[in-house]
Amino acid sequence: MPRLSEIAKLIDHSLLHPTLTDDALREGCRVARAHDVAAVCIKPYALPLAREQLAGSRVALATVVGFPHGSGTTAIKVAEALAACAAGAVEIDFVVNIGRVLGGDWRYVSEEIGAVNDAVLTAGAISKVIFENDFYPEDAPIVRLCEICNERAVAFVKTSTGYGFVRRPDGSYGYAGATDHHLRLMRATCRPEIQVKAAGGIRTLDDVLRVRALGVTRIGATATESILAEARGRGF
């Protein structure tokens, strides 16, 4: 059974919702610091605020690039990543060009992932490549993305942004997020040294333990406090 501290170090406390005010972001950093989670994943403009709030802690500073739909040019993603690193980020979660993935333009996708990853590494940070799995009705694009990430030697592959809503037959929108099937597929296809981050729908301790058993080593979560409170209550 993992210890409470080990569960906390699986979590990237997510502070990415567009409605979050600076006060809410400060409170989120307080939560992350109090629980000594792996990282706080914060909106890019708030990196200076987070850097101040987390000074002296062991919580890593992470942010997002091309978020949430991955539609910027490669040059803009590289510039955004470098600016984030200059502002203190040491982990960059960036979204692939989803349209190019669906269109099978693998050269473009590979070159983009390589360009952003190389820039991030040069700046002394690591990258997490967000696939947005809900948009792919078949496994083949996910497998190919994993293969490209193997070739480009990224640090992490990541399932979702949490904002990749798909239109359902009844006209409503929703997303599955990090499914067990996709997590198994990503873990099996990626080289062992490439870690898997699950994001989207991880809301309970049992969710965390389930995906951890599938080989996940990082989890994007907004429900950090309730997850860790449940872990304490169950004797972890």
> Catalytic: 128?
no
197 is catalytic: yes
Active-site residue, from 9, 77, 128, 197: 197
Distances (CA, A) of 159 to 93, 153, 196: 11, 17, 8
User: Could you give the dihedral angle defined by the CA atoms of residues 225, 228, 230 and 236, in that order, rounded to the nearest 10 degrees?
Assistant: -170
Catalytic residue (one of 9, 12, 77, 93): 93
Q: Which of 9, 12, 158, 207 is catalytic?
A: 158
Contacts 24+ apart (CB under 8 A), 112-116: 112/74, 112/77, 113/148, 113/149, 113/152, 113/154, 114/152, 115/74, 115/77, 115/78, 116/65, 116/74, 116/77, 116/78, 116/81, 116/92
- Our answer to whether residue 77 is catalytic in this structure is no
So which residues are the catalytic ones? 93, 158, 197
